[in-house]
Amino acid sequence: MKPVTSKANWISMLKAVPVKNSAAEIHETASGLSVRVFNQKNDSRFFLLRWIVPYRPYRTIQLDTVGAAIWNLCDGKRCVEELCDIFARENRLSFHEARSGLADYLSKLIRSGVLAISLQDSP
């Protein structure tokens, strides 16, 4: 009779605030947005390697319609829960449908350096 799921919660994830990479450059494209994220300053110790493999100071990430909508919603104040509410309302999804979709998308954007996440203390 002991529940299997009693310890599982995602409050800290919902209360986290996605923040845009302020150094990123935005360009509007026909299919959405193009975000140019600058790579970290190159290390002079690797000059030999850089001579063989050309160094690219930035990388470009293409955001589709959903990605562009999420990017525009991230104002550094709205938490993931608020984003889920807006995304669910605009796309007629249930809260958890929106949460699962957004969580995947946000993690991709965070990994690519487009967004950072600011974790809040859970209540």
Interface with other proteins by CB under 8 A: which range of 2-10, 23-31, 47-55, 107-115? 2-10
Q: Does 9 bind other proteins (CB under 8 A)?
A: yes
| 33 vs 98, beta carbon nearer other proteins | 98
Q: Does 99 bind other proteins (CB under 8 A)?
A: yes
Q: Does 1 bind other proteins (CB under 8 A)?
A: yes
CB of 29 to other proteins, least distance (A): 16
Q: Indicate if the alpha-carbon torsion angle 118, 112, 88, 94 is positive or negative.
A: negative
Q: Are 11 and 122 in contact, with CB atoms under 8 Å apart?
A: yes
Q: Is 32 left (phi over 0), alpha (psi -120 to 50) or beta?
A: left
